[in-house]
Structure 1
C-alpha cells in the first residue's frame, strides 16, 4: 500500500509516445468552474431517490404533512452539513473530502477506518443502488404488465456502470460535460413535475392536503428511518469536497457551489412531493412501484414516457457524479499510502485517475450482483451518518483547539454542533428503536478495519507480488505517479 519506487517525472517503463524521457510535472488540473461545481453537487444529489423513495417516506411517516415535513427537514439538515463542509473545504483545499479532513485534523487511524468503510461498503453500495434504479426504469418498457427479470435488470445496471467508467477514463472534460448536460436535463424534468402539480393545484385539486397530519407516526426510530429514506435522496451534497484540487479558486467556488445547489435541490424536492400528493392519494402513492411514472400517466397522457426517460437520465447523471468524486477519493488515499500505490496513478496523456475509477467500477459491480435497493439504503445511510458525525466532530475539535488557523470561510460554531446532534440521532435512533442485523454487520465490518490497518499501514507490510503487480499494471494502463498536491490557485 506504500507508493512504489517509481520516478513520477521520468515516466519510467512507459511505452513510447507517452512522454518518456521528459521532465514533466504530472498531476491533476484545475478544470472545474463554479457552474461545473454546482452541477456536480446538484447532479450527485438528484438521482433515484426523489423518484423512488416518496412512497417509502409516506409509509414510515403515515401522513402527507409528516412526509413533507421530513423532506423539508432533510433539506435543512443537508444545508447545515454543507455549511460545515464548506468551511472544511475552504480551510483544507485538498481533494478527498472527509478522508482528508479526518487525516489532517485527527490522524491516520480514523481516516483509514473511514476509508475502509467507504471503499468496501458505502461508495459501492450507493452506486449499486442507483444503478439498479436506473436499470429498473430502463428495462421496464420491454416487460409491460409483468415483473422485469432480475438477471436483465442487473445486467443493465452493470452495463451502465461500465459505460460511465469509460466516459470518466477517457477525459475529465468529457466527464464534466456529461455531468453538466445530465444535471440540466434532470432539473428540467423535475420542473415539469413541479409545473404540472402547480397547475392541478390551481385548479382546485387540494383534497389530499386536507387533514394533512392525520395519522402521522411519532415513534423515535420510525422517524429516524424516514429520515434515512429522505436523506438518501439528498445524499451527494459533499461530493465536491472530494475534487477540491480540480476546482478553480476552491476557497470561493466550493462554498458558493454548495450554497447554490443545496437550496435549489431542497426547493425542487418539496415542490415535486407536493405535486405527487396533488395527483395521488396516500393509498395510491403506497401502491405505486414507481411514483414518478404513476404521476406521469395521470398528468402527461401520451407524453408519460418522459417520466421513465427522466428517471433514467437522472440516475445515470448521479452515477457519473459519484464516479467522478469517488475515484478521486481512492486516488488521494492511495497517494497517502492507505491504498495500493497503483490507485494513486493517473493516465500519462488523459490525466484521469483510471486505476481508481476501474476499482470503483469493480467494487460497485460486486454489490450489484446480490444486492437489493432497500437493504442497500440501510447499509449506506447508517455508514454515511456515522461518517458525517465523525467529520463534523473534527471541525469542532479544530475550531476549539486551533482557532488561529486561517479560514477563508467560517460558520458559527452552533452550526456544526446542531449537525453533530442530528447525525448522532440518525445513527442511534433506528438501532435503539428497531435493531436490524445490517447495523451489526456495519459495526463489525468497521472494527475489522483495525486488523487491516495494523500490518499493512502501521507496519508497512507489502508483499513482493503486490509490487510486481503494480509495475505490470502501470505498464498495461499507461499510468504514472503524480506530484504531491500544491496550492496553485
Structure 2
C-alpha cells in the first residue's frame, strides 16, 4: 500500500471518488433482490387480509427508514470503509467488530451472494430453458454470474460503478413498467382490495412472522456505509443517500404490492404455489406469456443485488486486515486500481464453495436472526458513542434521539426473541457460527506493537 496520500493509504480507491448517484444505485440494488417478488405470496396465505399486508409493508418501510437514519449518523461520523465493523469496533472494541465482519463474510455477504446467484440461475433457466437434469447447469450459471461481476469490480471502482448504474437504472425502469403498466393496462380490479380470506384472523405470532419476511426484504439500507471511504463528501451525502434511497425503495415496494393485489384477490395469491407471486400477478394482468418478462426482471434484479454485495462486502475484510484482526495478506490494495482485490477474491471464493456444496441454504435459514442481533448492536453503538464520544463530529444527527434508536433496538431484539422461541435449533446454529469466529480472532489478531514494527 505504497501510495502518496493518506486518503489512498487508508481507504480503497482513494483516487476514485464515488458520486452520490452511484452510491444510491448500490444501495437500491442491494435492497431490491428477490424478496419483494416472492414475499407477498406467503403473506397472502398466512394473513388473508390485503389491508394488513399493505400495512405491514408500510411498517417495514418505516423501520427501514429509521434504521437508515441511525446508520446515516454513524456513517457520517465515521466515514470509513467497513460499515458495521467500523461502528462496532469503535463502540464495543475490536472483538465485537471482528465478529461483525466474520458474520458478514460467512453469512451476511457470503451466503447471501451464493443464495442470490443460485436464484438468478433458476430464473434464467425459465427465460432460456436448458436441460439441467443433474443441476450442474444452474451451478454453472450461478458461478458465471458471480465471477463475471467479480472481474468487473476487480477492474476498479470506475468499471464497477458504471455496471452498477446500468443494472440499477434498468431494473428500476423495468419495475416501473411492470407496476404502471399493470395498473393502467392490465385486467385487474380495485375490488380485490375489499376481498379477505373467509378464515382470516391472524394472531400476533403470525403477524410477527410476516413482519420478519418484510424486514428481510428491506435489509441492505446500510450498504452505503461499507463504501463510505470511497463516497465523495460522505459526511454530507451519506445520510441523504441512505434515507433518500431507502424511502425510494419503500415507495417501489408499496407500488408493487398494489399491483399484486390489483391483479388478483388475496385468496388467489394464497393458492399454491405461493412463491412466484409476481409471475402469478403478471399472468393475470397480461396472460401466461408474461411470465418470462417477470423471470427476466428477477434475473436483472438479483444480478444488481449480487453486484452491490461483491462491491461492498470485501471492504469489511480489507478494513479488518488493515486493523490487524484478520489475515494481514488481505490488507493490500491493488497498486493500479486501488481496490482490495484479495479481499474481493476471498469473498467470491467462499461464495463459490457455498454454491458448489449447497450449504448456503443452511446459512440463509438462520442468517436472519444473526443479522437482526448485529443490527440491534449497531444501532446501540449510536447511543454508546453519543455518551462516550460526545465531541465526535456528527454532520448528521438522527432525529427523535434517543427514542428512535431505542425503539429500533427494542424491535430488533423482539424479532430475535421471537425467533429464539419459534426456531431454537436454527438460532443455536446461528450463534454457533458467530462464536466460531472467537478463536480465529485470537489466532489472526496482531498486537499494536506488531503493527508498528
TM-score (norm 2): 0.90
TM-superposed deviation, 1:281: 3.1
- Considering only CA atoms, is the larger Rg found in Structure 1 or Structure 2? 1
What are the Cα deviations for residues 152-178 of structure 1, in whole angstroms up to 9, with x where unaligned?
Answer: 222211221111111111121111111
1:6-155 map, 5 Å: 8=2, 28-29=13-14, 30-143=16-129, 150-155=135-140
Q: Which residue of 2 aligns with 1:186?
A: 171
Query: 1:416 and 2:405 equivalent?
Result: yes
Q: Which residue of 1 aligns with 2:435?
A: 447
Query: 1:249 and 2:233 equivalent?
Result: yes
Query: 1:210 and 2:191 equivalent?
Result: no
Q: Which moved more, 1:29-38 or 1:232-241?
A: 29-38
Q: 1:175 aligns with which of 132, 139, 160?
A: 160
TM-superposed deviation, 1:426: 1.4
More helix by share: 2
TM-superposed deviation, 1:261: 0.6
User: Are the structure 2 counterparts of residues 254 and 226 from structure 1 closer, same or farther at C-alpha, using a change threshold of 3 Å?
Assistant: same
Check conservation: 1:334, 1:341, Cα contact below 8 A: yes
Q: How many residues align?
A: 443
Q: 1:356 aligns with which of 317, 333, 343?
A: 343
Check conservation: 1:217, 1:223, Cα contact below 8 A: no
- Structure 2 alignment gaps of length 5 or more: none
What are the Cα deviations for residues 169-195 of structure 1, in whole angstroms up to 9, with x where unaligned?
Answer: 112111111111111111111112221
- Structure 1 alignment gaps of length 5 or more: 1-6, 11-23, 463-480, 482-489
Q: Which residue of 2 aligns with 1:282?
A: 266
2:200 & 2:337 partners in 1: Cα distance? Answer: 54
Secondary structure at the residue paired with 1:337?
coil
Q: Which moved more, 1:442-451 or 1:99-108?
A: 442-451
What are the Cα deviations for residues 178-220 of structure 1, in whole angstroms up to 9, with x where unaligned?
Answer: 111111111111112221342268x771232114486556444
User: Are the structure 2 counterparts of residues 321 and 9 from structure 1 closer, same or farther at C-alpha, using a change threshold of 3 Å?
Assistant: closer
1:368-383 map, 5 Å: 368-371=355-358, 375-383=362-370
1:89 & 1:142 partners in 2: Cα distance? Answer: 42
What are the Cα deviations for residues 425-484 of structure 1, in whole angstroms up to 9, with x where unaligned?
Answer: 11111222x124221101122222222223432779x9xxxxxxxxxxxxxxxxxx9xxx
Check conservation: 1:37, 1:253, Cα contact below 8 A: no
Check conservation: 1:200, 1:278, Cα contact below 8 A: no
Check conservation: 1:132, 1:153, Cα contact below 8 A: yes
1:229 & 1:261 partners in 2: Cα distance? Answer: 20
1:75 & 1:366 partners in 2: Cα distance? Answer: 34
Secondary structure at the residue paired with 1:311?
helix
Secondary structure at the residue paired with 1:398?
helix
Q: Which moved more, 1:45-54 or 1:366-375?
A: 366-375
Check conservation: 2:188, 2:263, Cα contact below 8 A: no
User: Are the structure 2 counterparts of residues 119 and 107 from structure 1 closer, same or farther at C-alpha, using a change threshold of 3 Å?
Assistant: same
Secondary structure at the residue paired with 2:397?
coil
TM-superposed deviation, 1:369: 2.9
1:331 & 1:66 partners in 2: Cα distance? Answer: 43
2:209 & 2:135 partners in 1: Cα distance? Answer: 27
1:274 & 1:327 partners in 2: Cα distance? Answer: 37
TM-score (norm 1): 0.83
Secondary structure at the residue paired with 2:333?
strand
Cα RMSD, aligned residues only? 2.9
What are the Cα deviations for residues 275-296 of structure 1, in whole angstroms up to 9, with x where unaligned?
Answer: 0111123343232442222233
Check conservation: 1:38, 1:261, Cα contact below 8 A: yes
